[in-house]
């Protein structure tokens, strides 16, 4: 029997054959992969995983991939770093940093795109595409190059230049839309109806989003087969946030960890685009769409597809949701760099600023462990911090050095 059963509606009992399909014909609910856990349990154990490759492909048996040919650019199994300096600074027992900024294209998006590109090959697509807030474009372009696809990436025209360069270099068509991400996504959804293309985050979304659960797998494995007291995750569509939790629960399902009943899930968003956090804190079940205006462009989704599920999960795990200002984001980026030597992009700044806020609000006790997700690299959002970094210019003489730096 196959390990993948069907595509199942998240809202009604309807099931569909595995195919590039993402919404339920009956109720328009989102579709999700349904697995045959009994079958998977027979062949997957701690040993089979730890003997696997040092990449997301060590979890291949838990992903919706049939064959052995995967599109592998070295994604995943990123470091879980014990952030002792930051823990001391904030007065906490233990902060762990899941550093996904060191993936091949410098963001966690390589996880979702590795799965989506492999599945696109299995479905025999020849054209690969996405609607992107920035990091996805780079990852889709890189995987498209490796897989030999014709690749198109659609981005909002106001994107950071570094992110445009980081996608263009791999040779895709880069299409800049005059509008925000939600406009880009709307156009791409229309294109996906008429063109026979693999849009990773539209018609391949059920497969794509499964890539995110490998963050949960890795955290549990790297902590010694357990889950932490707290997770703080950034949210754009809300998909990563809910999939980390799904990863924990699947590990529980196949007997690798205990039920993650004491792990609380916390959402981090920028104030200028916080539809999920704001609605959570107002007691609403569905996020109210907003028009984004924030330096955290990788999180600038005003109408988040998984917002409803993210709110539900934060509530069910006794978690919380936060919104931080642009100023706090820049301070967060700087704090992480100066304490831990990790240069993250604005999304990571949102997470660190949220951590600082939660410590101030005493939402984390001194004896608890927290894992924060650092999902992207600071080299791609340099424009927000360039004012911090003006060097001191001197002549090439000892005198000039000592005149300028009398304390050394």
Ligand X SMILES: *Cc1c(COP(=O)(O)O)cnc(C)c1O
Interacting residues with ligand X (CB under 6 A): 107-109, 135, 234-241, 298-299, 345, 347, 375-376
Other C-beta atoms closer than 10 Å to the C-beta of 403 total 11
Q: How far is the CB of 324 from Zn ion (least distance, A)?
A: 36
Task: Assess contact for 67 and 50: CB atoms under 8 A.
Answer: no
Q: How far is the CB of 108 from ligand X (least distance, A)?
A: 6
> Rounded to whole angstroms, what are the CA distances from 3 to 18, 36, 60, 371?
12, 5, 11, 30
Whole-number Å distance between alpha carbons of 140 and 148:
12
Q: How far is the CB of 346 from ligand X (least distance, A)?
A: 8
Residue with smallest beta-carbon separation from ligand X: 376
Token pair 């604005």 is found at 346
Between 227 and 239, name the residue whose CB sits nearer to ligand X. 239
208 touches, from ligand X, Zn ion, none (C-beta below 5 to 8 Å by class): none
12 touches, from Zn ion, ligand X, none (C-beta below 5 to 8 Å by class): Zn ion
Q: How far is the CB of 306 from Zn ion (least distance, A)?
A: 16
Q: How far is the CB of 298 from ligand X (least distance, A)?
A: 4
Q: How far is the CB of 92 from ligand X (least distance, A)?
A: 23
Between 113 and 256, name the residue whose CB sits nearer to ligand X. 113
Interface with Zn ion: number of residues (CB under 5 A): 8
Give the footprint of Zn ion on residues 20-59 (CB under 5 A).
Answer: 24, 26-27, 29
Between 144 and 378, name the residue whose CB sits nearer to ligand X. 378
Q: How far does CA 86 lie from the centroid of its chain?
A: 22
Between 131 and 235, name the residue whose CB sits nearer to ligand X. 235
Cβ-based burial of 193 (10 A; exposed 0-12, middle 13-18, buried ≥19): exposed
Cα–Cα nearest to 5, from 38, 54, 43: 38
Q: What is the DSSP string of 237-278?
A: SSHHHHHHHHHHHHHHHTTSS---TT-EEEEEEEGGG-HHHH
Cα–Cα nearest to 86, from 348, 350, 328, 352: 352
298 touches, from ligand X, Zn ion, none (C-beta below 5 to 8 Å by class): ligand X
237 touches, from Zn ion, ligand X, none (C-beta below 5 to 8 Å by class): ligand X
Where are the strands (E) in 80-144, listed by range? 80-82, 94-99, 127-131
Taking contact as CB under 5 A, which single stretch among the options 2-10, 30-38, 154-162, 306-314 is the one that binds Zn ion?
Answer: 2-10
The terminus-to-terminus CA distance of the chain in angstroms comes to 70
253 touches, from ligand X, Zn ion, none (C-beta below 5 to 8 Å by class): none
Whole-number Å distance between alpha carbons of 43 and 254:
10
The footprint of Zn ion (CB under 5 A) covers 9, 11-12, 14, 24, 26-27, 29
């Amino acid at each position: 029997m196959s390990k993948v059963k069907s595509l199942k509606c998240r809202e009604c009992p309807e099931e569909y054959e595995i195919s590039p399909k993402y919404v339920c014909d009956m109720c328009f609910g989102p579709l999700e992969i349904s697995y045959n856990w009994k079958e998977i349990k027979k062949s997957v154990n701690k040993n089979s995983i730890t003997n696997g490759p040092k990449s997301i492909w060590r979890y291949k048996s838990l992903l919706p991939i049939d064959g052995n040919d995967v599109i592998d650019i070295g994604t995943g199994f990123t470091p879980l770093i014990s952030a002792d300096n930051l823990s001391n600074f904030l007065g906490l027992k233990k902060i762990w940093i899941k550093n996904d900024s060191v993936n091949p294209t410098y963001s966690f998006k390589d996880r979702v795109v590795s799965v989506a590109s492999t599945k696109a090959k299995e479905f025999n697509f020849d054209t690969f595409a996405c609607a992107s807030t920035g990091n996805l474009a780079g990852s889709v372009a890189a995987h498209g190059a490796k897989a030999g696809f014709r690749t198109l990436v659609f981005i909002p025209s106001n994107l950071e230049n570094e992110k445009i360069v980081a996608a263009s270099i791999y040779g895709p068509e880069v299409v800049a839309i005059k509008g925000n991400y939600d406009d880009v996504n709307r156009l791409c959804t229309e294109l996906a109806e008429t063109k026979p293309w693999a849009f990773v985050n539209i018609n391949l979304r059920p497969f794509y989003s499964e890539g995110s659960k490998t963050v949960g797998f890795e955290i549990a494995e790297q902590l010694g087969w357990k889950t932490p007291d707290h997770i703080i995750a950034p949210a754009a569509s809300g998909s990563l946030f809910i999939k980390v939790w799904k990863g924990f629960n699947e590990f529980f399902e196949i007997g690798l960890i205990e039920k993650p009943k004491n792990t609380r899930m916390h959402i981090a968003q920028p104030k200028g685009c916080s539809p999920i956090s704001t609605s959570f804190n107002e007691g609403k079940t569905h996020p109210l769409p907003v028009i984004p205006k924030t330096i955290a462009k990788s999180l600038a989704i005003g109408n988040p597809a998984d917002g409803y599920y993210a709110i539900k999960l934060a509530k069910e795990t006794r978690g919380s949701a936060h919104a931080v200002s642009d100023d706090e984001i820049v301070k967060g980026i700087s704090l992480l760099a100066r304490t831990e030597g990790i240069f993250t992009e604005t999304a990571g700044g949102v997470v660190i600023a949220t951590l600082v806020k939660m410590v101030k609000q005493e939402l984390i006790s001194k004896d608890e462990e927290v894992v924060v997700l650092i999902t992207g690299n600071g080299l791609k959002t340099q424009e927000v911090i360039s004012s911090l970094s003006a060097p001191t210019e001197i002549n090439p003489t000892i005198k000039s050095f000592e005149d300028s730096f009398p304390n050394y």
